Every structure is written in C-alpha cells, then in structure tokens.
A = this chain, B = another copy of it.
Amino acid sequence: MKYKTQIEAARKGIFTKEMEYVATNENINRELLIKEVSNGRLIIPGNKNHKNIRPVAIGELSSTKVNVNIGISKDCPDKDVELKKVKKAIELNVDSIMDLSCWGDTRDFRQNLVEVSPCMIGSVPMYDMIGNSGKALKDLTKDDFLKCVKDHAIDGIDFMTIHAGLNKKTAQRVKRNRRLTNIVSRGGSLLFAWMEMTGNENPFYEFYEEFLDVLYEYDVTISLGDGCRPGSIHDATDASQLEELITLGELTKRAWAKNVQVMVEGPGHIPLNEVKTNMIIAKKLLFNAPFYVLGPLVTDIAPGYDHITSAIGGAIAASSGADFLCYVTPAEHLRLPDEDDMIEGIMATKIAAHAGDVARKFPGAIEKDNNMSKARAELDWEKMISLSINPEKSYKYRQSAKPDKEDTCTMCGEMCAVKNMNKILSGEEVKIS
C-alpha cells in the first residue's frame, strides 16, 4: 500500500476506491474531489479496520452531513437499548454515529457498533478512559490517554474527538475572562480539571504528534474538540472561544503536515445574529478544514425543544460554512435521549442540513423541494408522503384525519387553494357547496 490515509493518497495522486465511491455516490467531480482531499478541505473518514463502512465525504464540496450520538453510561447501561437506537438511526439514513460510551463494557459495545454500522463511527476516547480506567482523574497519565486512543483506533473508530486546543494558556484565559457558564464541554472540563490538579500541560496538546502517529496508522480522522465552546448565548464568540479556535487552526496544519485527515468542532450556543460571523471566522482560522457544529442553539430558554433551537442555528450555519451537524434532541439539558427523542433530533437536524444546502445552492438540493411541490400541485398524496423527510409520520398524520373530499385535506377542505386553482386554470367552475 502506497498510502495510509485518504489525504496522503490524494497528495500522491492516487484515486482510492473510497474516493471513487464518494465521487459516484455524491456526484462529485473526480478532479475536484482529489484536489479538495489533498488540501484538507474535504475528508472521507474511514478507519482501515472498519471494514463495512460506506464512505461519506464531509466538506464544502459535499452535502451537509448529520451525526447522531449514542452510548452506554452509568445512567443507561443497557447495550441493547443503544444498539436498537443505532439500528433505527441507520434506517433513517444518518451519515454518522458517535459513541459517547463512558461506563460498562465499552469495548465490547464499540466493537459491536463498528461491526453493525455502515455509517462512520466517531468517539471521544477520553470519556471511555476516564469512566473505565479505575484510576482517579488526577492520576491519569499521558500513557493512559495514548493507550485509549490506540484501543479505539484498533477497534475501527473512524473519527475521534481530541480536545487538543484547550491548553494551559487558554485555561488561564478562561480563568481571567469569567463566563456565565464556564466550560460546558465534557471533555474540556475534565481536561481543565486535570491540568489544574496535576499542573501539567494538556497531553493531547503537549504530545500531539504522538497521537497523530496513531491516528495516521489507521486513517482515523482527528476531530479537534472545542473545549471552550460557549454554553450560553451570553458566552458566545468570546475571548476563550476564539483563542482556542486559533490554536485549533495551528493544530489543523500540523495534522495535515502528518497526512492525518482533520475536521474541527464548533459551538454551541450562539445568538442568531452571530452564527454566520462564527462560521466565517472559523473557516478562515481553520484554513477551510471541514467544520462540525453542535447546534448552534440560538436561545437558552427552551429545554425540551432544543432540537428546534438547534435546527435554527444549524440551518444558518450550514448555509454559511458548517459542513457537518451534530444532532441535538428535545432531551438536551434534561436527560439522556430515548429513541423517540433521537428520531426528533435526527429529523430536525436533517431539515437544518437540507435547508442550508438549498440556501447555498448545493447541486441537487432544491430539486427535492421542487419534486414535493409538483406532487402538491397535483394533489398526489401518495407521492407527497413518499417524498417527505419522514414518510411514516406524514402517513400517520394523513391517515388520522379523513377529509370530506378525498383529494383535499382537513386543513382547508373544499376551500383547498391547490384544487381550486387547478380547476379555474383549466377553465372549470369553482364551486363551494
């Protein structure tokens, strides 16, 4: 094999079978694709040990992708519950699944997950390590960090969140520029605590190259975590967030220099009027590396509806630079999501991704809307249902309320504008009985 990673292959002019798959499946021009992979603006995550993966591209050249989080934990230790959710998520055509497991037999779960999933799998090795090491947090060493990343790589994880940007300097910045909600990233807060307790530098930052070597070996994409992502509208776009972003840009270049594929994670909670600004500045400071955002949530006041607050921010983000959206469910800020929450979260995030693609005139996006609109103009209810983002839900709604006139719906009944326009435009009389 003349290459270990997709970016290395692209730089050597090799058009891999993964690129082939993506070029065909996502209808991307081959030359453009290889160019974009080689300069890091497009990634095709895929661990060499994840044998049944269906490669997917993330970056400006491809459609906006959607990720789902699952995982076993002390509060939800049931592997089967989580694997059932995985099955459903795959059925609903998500692009990626992140395993946030942090308690119990995480390795067994992870290996199962990789085995059953054609979607790319991401993880946050640190959660697993901290939850399962048996050591106190402060006693963990760089070798523990490294071993955990290696284990995940061997198990076939396609991309890993590594919070390398939150170093001691930025931790000082956080302490000097106090926030309303401090650090809300789980990984970020644990690293902050670890640095405070040990006095050591963040090992992901200090020994970054060693971690890159492991990732390179398996073609694991590094997903640079944003430990300082804002956890409230108040804290958005502040000094700590931006300083970490600058560091993440530097780390991006270093990963590229080692032929490791990179994406970068972004906020978080951002007021609507700052979302686009955040995307522009991130793309600039990250040299157009693929940008992966959580939300952003455009208000803090709606727990129970954060799939909606996120869809608003996510759609604007996707229209202005974000390439990959992490789903947020109605359970956010309240509890672990159950399967229904997951479905709601997936749908809301898919809507945001698609609305963003339509807005940025991504090829093929608006055609989906046009097909639906044609079906509506023809009052073709079967087609409307089959073209809808969740045919099961549309069908259920339609079935639940039988209209007096079958070609209409109970919303307008015989005052149906579509029906009456079709009549009058073809010269028929419009009658309302």
Interface residues of A (CB under 8 A from B): 73-76, 102-103, 127, 130-131, 136-138, 175, 180-186, 188-190, 192-193, 196-197, 231-235, 271-273, 298-305, 307-309, 311-312, 315-316, 319, 330-336, 347-348, 351-352, 354-356, 358-361, 366, 368-370, 372-374, 376-377, 384-385, 387-390, 393-394, 397-398, 400-401, 403-404, 409-418, 420-425, 429-432
**B74 engages A377 (CB within 8 Å):** no
Q: Tell whether A415 pairs with B130 under 8 Å between CB atoms, given A319-B272, A431-B137.
A: yes
**A305 engages B390 (CB within 8 Å):** yes
Minimal Cβ-Cβ distance residue in B for A180: B373
Q: Is the interface of A mostly helix, strand, loop or mixed?
A: helix
Q: Quickly give the copy total for this chain.
A: 2
**B74 engages A414 (CB within 8 Å):** yes
A166 to chain B, nearest CB (A): 12
Q: List 7 A-B contacts (CB under 8 A).
A: A103-B413, A273-B360, A300-B369, A302-B389, A308-B311, A308-B347, A334-B409
Q: How far is the CA of A348 from the CA of B384 in the complex (A)?
A: 23
Q: How far is the CA of A410 from the CA of B102 in the complex (A)?
A: 12
**B397 engages A331 (CB within 8 Å):** yes
Q: How far is the CA of A331 from the CA of B415 in the complex (A)?
A: 17
A264 to chain B, nearest CB (A): 19
Using A74-B404, A182-B425 as known contacts, list a sample of 14 further A-B pairs with CB atoms less than 8 Å apart, ordered by residue number in A. A73-B413, A75-B413, A102-B413, A137-B432, A138-B429, A190-B432, A196-B424, A231-B373, A232-B369, A273-B359, A299-B351, A299-B355, A302-B351, A334-B411
**B335 engages A315 (CB within 8 Å):** no
Residues of B near A334 (CB, < 8 A) are 394, 397-398, 401, 409, 411
Q: Tell whether A413 pairs with B74 under 8 Å between CB atoms, given A234-B373, A432-B130.
A: yes
**B352 engages A312 (CB within 8 Å):** yes
Q: How far is the CA of A75 from the CA of B368 in the complex (A)?
A: 31
A81 to chain B, nearest CB (A): 12
Minimal Cβ-Cβ distance residue in B for A398: B334
Residues of B near A424 (CB, < 8 A) are 189, 192-193, 196-197
**A335 engages B410 (CB within 8 Å):** yes
Residues of B near A131 (CB, < 8 A) are 415, 432
Q: How far is the CA of A393 from the CA of B304 in the complex (A)?
A: 6
**A366 engages B102 (CB within 8 Å):** no
**B388 engages A190 (CB within 8 Å):** no
Q: How far is the CA of A271 from the CA of B411 in the complex (A)?
A: 24
Minimal Cβ-Cβ distance residue in B for A233: B369
Q: How far is the CA of A127 from the CA of B412 in the complex (A)?
A: 10
Max chain B CB contacts within 10 Å: which of A303, A351, A359, A400? Answer: A303
Residues of B near A271 (CB, < 8 A) are 355, 358-359, 366
A351 to chain B, nearest CB (A): 5
A37 to chain B, nearest CB (A): 27
